[in-house]
A and B are shown apart, each in its own frame.
Chain A
Amino acid sequence: MKKLRLIAGVLALGLAVAACGGAKVEDDSAAAPSASAAGSAPASAGGTVKMAINGWVGYEASAAVVSYLLEHELGYKVEKVTLAEEPSWQGMESGDVDVIIENWRHPDLKKKYIEEKQVAVEAGSTGNKGVIGWYVPEWMVQKYPDITDYKNLNKYADLFKTSESDGKGQMLDGDPSFVTNDEALVKNLKLDYKVVYAGSEAALIKAAKQATDQKKPLLMYFYEPQWLFNQVKLVKVNLPAYTEGCDSDPKKVACDYPPYDLDKIVSKKFADTGGKAFELVKAFQWTNDDQNAVADDITNNGMTPEDAAKKWVEANPTKWQAWMPK
Chain B
Amino acid sequence: MVSAPVQVAPPVEAPARARRLPRWVAPVAGVVAVVVLYVAFRGKAVLPHDDDATLFHWLNDARDWVDANRNSSPIFLYVVNYIRLGAAGVYEAIQAGLVALGWPGLLGLAAGLGWLAGGWRIALVSFAGFAGVGVLGFWEASVETLALTLSSVVLSLLFGIPLGIWAGRSPRVRRIVTPVLDVMQIMPTFSYLSPMVLLFLIGPASATIATMIYAMPPAIRITAMAIQRVSGVAVEASESLGATGWQTLGKVRLPLALNTIMLGVNQTIAAALSMVPLTALIAAPGLGEDLLRALARVNVGAALVPGVAIVLIAIVLDRMTRAAAQRREGGTRARAVRWGGFAVLTAAGLALLPVLAQDFPEQWEVQIVRPINDVVDWIEAHWYTFTGFLNDVVAYGLLNPLQDVLTNAPWWLVTAAVLVFAWRVSGAAAGLVATACLLCVAGLQLWEHAMETLTMVLVASVITIAAGLALGVAAARSRWFAAGLRPLLDAAQTMPSFSYLLPAVALFGNGRFTAITASFIYAVPVVARLVEDGLRAVPGTVMEAARSAGSTDRQLLWKVQLPMARGSLLLAANQGIVMTLAMVVIGALVGAGALGYDVVAGFAQQEDYGKGLAAGVALVLLGVMLDRITQGANGRRSPHKKRNA
Task: Indicate yes or no for A touching B, C-beta below 8 A.
Answer: yes
Q: Which of A93-101, A135-143, A311-319 contacts B (4 or more CB under 8 A)?
A: A93-101
What is the bound-complex CA distance between A273 and B605, given in angstroms? 30
Counting CB contacts under 8 A, is B551 at the interface? no
What is the bound-complex CA distance between A240 and B607, given in angstroms? 24
**Contact status of A30 and B298, CB under 8 A, knowing A177-B601, A183-B51, A197-B597:** no
**Contact status of A251 and B52, CB under 8 A, knowing A23-B82, A176-B600, A203-B590:** yes
The 4 closest A-B pairs by CB, nearest first: A22-B77, A177-B604, A163-B395, A94-B201
What is the bound-complex CA distance between A250 and B593, given in angstroms? 21
Q: Is the CB of A91 within 8 A of B604?
A: no
Contact partner, B78, options A22, A162, A250, A302, Cβ 8 Å: A22
Q: Interface readout for B589-604 with A: 1 if CB under 8 Å, 0 if not? A: 1110100010011011
Counting CB contacts under 8 A, is A64 at the interface? no
What is the bound-complex CA distance between A197 and B591, given in angstroms? 5
Using a CB-CB cutoff of 8 Å, which residues 63-121 of chain A contact chain B? Answer: 79, 81-87, 90-91, 93-97, 108-109, 112
Q: Is the CB of B81 within 8 A of A201?
A: no
Write out the residue numbers on chain B whose beta carbons fall within 8 Å of the beta carbon of A200. Answer: 295-298, 590
Contact partner, A206, options B52, B298, B511, Cβ 8 Å: B298
Report 22 cross-chain contacts, Cβ distance below 8 Å, ordered by A residue. A21-B77, A23-B78, A23-B84, A25-B70, A25-B71, A28-B85, A56-B296, A85-B604, A86-B603, A87-B283, A91-B201, A91-B203, A95-B203, A97-B283, A163-B399, A164-B591, A197-B588, A197-B593, A200-B298, A202-B297, A203-B298, A207-B509
Q: Interface readout for B274-293 with A: 1 if CB under 8 Å, 0 if not? A: 00000010110100010011
Using a CB-CB cutoff of 8 Å, which residues 294-322 of chain B contact chain A? Answer: 295-299
Given contacts A164-B510, A203-B590, A302-B370, 16 further A-B contacts (CB under 8 A): A24-B70, A24-B81, A30-B85, A56-B296, A82-B289, A84-B603, A93-B70, A96-B202, A109-B606, A163-B395, A164-B395, A164-B511, A175-B604, A176-B600, A196-B510, A200-B297
Q: Interface readout for A196-223 with B: 1 if CB under 8 Å, 0 if not? A: 1111111100110000000000000000
Closest chain B residue to A93, Cβ basis: B201
Q: How many residues of A contact B (CB 8 A)?
A: 56
Using a CB-CB cutoff of 8 Å, which residues 2-41 of chain A contact chain B? Answer: 17-18, 21-28, 30-31
What is the bound-complex CA distance between A201 and B400, given in angstroms? 26
Q: Interface readout for A39-69 with B: 1 if CB under 8 Å, 0 if not? A: 0000000000000010111000000000000
Write out the residue numbers on chain A whose beta carbons fall within 8 Å of the beta carbon of B601. Answer: 176-177
Counting CB contacts under 8 A, is B563 at the interface? no
Write out the residue numbers on chain B whose beta carbons fall within 8 Å of the beta carbon of A83. Answer: 202, 283
Q: Is the CB of B89 within 8 A of A30?
A: yes
Closest chain B residue to A206, Cβ basis: B298
Using a CB-CB cutoff of 8 Å, which residues 385-408 of chain B contact chain A? Answer: 391-392, 395-396, 399-400
What is the bound-complex CA distance between A17 and B280, given in angstroms? 31
**Contact status of A30 and B92, CB under 8 A, knowing A87-B197, A202-B296, A203-B591:** yes
Contact partner, B71, options A24, A196, A199, A203, Cβ 8 Å: A24
Query: How many A-B pairs fall under 8 Å by CB?
Result: 163
Contact partner, B605, options A31, A95, A97, A177, Cβ 8 Å: A177
Q: Is the CB of B296 within 8 A of A201?
A: yes
What is the bound-complex CA distance between A28 and B92, given in angstroms? 12
Write out the residue numbers on chain B whose beta carbons fall within 8 Å of the beta carbon of A93. Answer: 70, 201
Write out the residue numbers on chain A whose beta carbons fall within 8 Å of the beta carbon of B511. Answer: 162-164, 196
Write out the residue numbers on chain B whose beta carbons fall within 8 Å of the beta carbon of A23. Answer: 77-78, 81-82, 84-85
What is the bound-complex CA distance between A163 and B510, given in angstroms? 11
Write out the residue numbers on chain B whose beta carbons fall within 8 Å of the beta carbon of A299. Answer: 297
Counting CB contacts under 8 A, is B88 at the interface? yes
**Contact status of A82 and B292, CB under 8 A, knowing A25-B201, A94-B201, A199-B510:** yes
Write out the residue numbers on chain B whose beta carbons fall within 8 Å of the beta carbon of A24. Answer: 70-71, 77, 81
Using a CB-CB cutoff of 8 Å, which residues 23-54 of chain B contact chain A? Answer: 51-52
Counting CB contacts under 8 A, is B205 at the interface? yes
Closest chain B residue to A302, Cβ basis: B370
Q: Is the CB of A90 within 8 A of B296?
A: no
Counting CB contacts under 8 A, is B74 at the interface? yes
Q: Is the CB of B604 within 8 A of A176?
A: yes
Contact partner, A96, options B74, B203, B293, Cβ 8 Å: B203
Write out the residue numbers on chain A whose beta carbons fall within 8 Å of the beta carbon of B606. Answer: 86, 108-109
Counting CB contacts under 8 A, is B512 at the interface? yes
What is the bound-complex CA distance between A268 and B375, given in angstroms? 47
Counting CB contacts under 8 A, is B187 at the interface? no
Write out the residue numbers on chain B whose beta carbons fall within 8 Å of the beta carbon of A91. Answer: 201-203, 283
What is the bound-complex CA distance between A204 and B26, given in angstroms? 50
Counting CB contacts under 8 A, is B473 at the interface? no
Write out the residue numbers on chain A whose beta carbons fall within 8 Å of the beta carbon of B589. Answer: 199
